[in-house]
Amino acid sequence: MSTLRHEVLALYKDLLYLGRRYPLGYPYFRTRCHAAFARNAGLTDESAIRQGIERAAFVKREVEALYSLTKYRAMKKRYG
Amino acid sequence: MASLRILVPVKRAIDYAVRPRVNSAQTAVETAGVRHSMNPFDEISVEEAVKLREKHKSAVEDIVAVSIGPPKTVEALRTAMAIGCDRSVHVETPEAADMLEPLQAAKILKQVVEREKPNLIIMGKQSIDDDFSQTGQMLAGLLGWGQAYGASEISVDGDTLTVRREVDGGTDVVKGKLPMVVMADLRLNTPRFATLPNIMKAKKKKVDKMKLEDFKERAENRLKTLKVAEPPVRQGGGTVENVDGLISRLKELGAL
């Protein structure tokens, strides 16, 4: 159980770190991210927690993709 | 396969998402308190060096990032090491000094090359702050090495390098023997994200500090900035009622 706790916390930290550069601002990202984690704080079933971790990892990948795409598009527009 | 020692020069520039502002004295772009990050083209070249290592495990001996700039430039080097460089060299310039011109940067890089002895240099084709796009070519010229500008694909076979270059209206394939300088274009790869744990780990990697005075061969900045100004604001267009209105307006402007 404690290893799962670790994974969740690590993901939360990673997401917050990513959120610092979120286009709509850090407070926007943080409140929503925090709420999403808080909503699932009461989960006790292991498979449910794993599902939650999966979902957080997916969101993390999406945010990363969002950043690299915006950067690529901006560069492409400027330099072709 | 020949062992590869890769040097990746990087530059810390104003972040691509920031809209640059001209300072009140109209001498330069405001940099104080503005978000900076590694030049996107340099990110691509760091990624390519790391990709080469992933592809040819044992062949890549060493990946060194090097940067010239004020003390905060270390941040860019840390990002480079978080992506996968082994160590880095920081050539420190005074905080308030003018940005180096390409020839000066190339001369200093040449001496770093003599010290680190790499046989492949991968660098961004240009930086997004001053857009000179000259340093790589000058460095290759000074070293007498082969060069490939605007690489969109790199493959290594023994000590030959095949580089696909993006040119107007197509691609150009060049082949050369190491040592070589390759300048990365936008479509070479997709740089990975420097994750938080990796940035933490990168803090333990070594950064060699050097001073500008440590370099014998140096050039002076030759360009003098007379004035920096924002581009003129676009004048809004007007609307016309109908086709007749359009024609009379065009006649008025002398287009018809």
Sign of the alpha-carbon torsion through B144, B145, B148, B149:
negative
**CATH for B134:** 3.40.50.620
Report which of residues B236 and B136 the model is more confident about: B136
Helix (H) or strand (E) holding B91: strand B87-92
Structurally, chain A folds into a number of domains equal to 1
**Which residues of chain A neighbour B128 with C-beta distances below 8 Å?**
75, 78
Q: What's the mean pLDDT in B197-225?
A: 89
The Cα-based distances of B15 to A44, B38, B130, B133, B170 in angstroms read 43, 7, 13, 18, 30
Q: How many cross-chain Cβ pairs, A to B, lie less than 8 Å apart?
A: 30
Please write the tens of the pLDDT for every residue from B90-106.
999 988 777 889 999 99
Residue A49's domain comprises: 2-79
Distance between B241 CA and the closest CA of chain A, angstroms:
34
The shortest CB-CB distance from A74 to any of B16, B190, B197 is to B16
> In the predicted model, what is the mean pLDDT of residues B154-173?
91
Cα dist. B105→B141, B195, B207 in Å? 13, 30, 19
Average confidence score pLDDT of chain A: 91
For chain B, the domain total comes to: 1
Contact A67 B193 (CB under 8 A): yes
- Chain B hits for A12, CB-CB cut-off 8 Å, are none
Indicate whether B3 pLDDT > 70. Answer: yes
List of long-range contacts for B57-63, beta carbons under 8 Å, 24+ apart: B58/B1, B59/B1, B59/B2, B59/B3, B59/B4, B59/B156, B60/B3, B60/B4, B60/B6, B61/B3, B61/B4, B61/B5, B62/B5, B62/B6, B62/B86, B62/B87, B62/B118, B63/B6, B63/B8
- CB-nearest to B40 from A17, A18, A71 is A71
For residue B86, give its domain range. 4-252
pLDDT at A1: 58
Chain B residues inside the 8 Å CB shell of A7 = none
d(CA B155, CA B162): 5
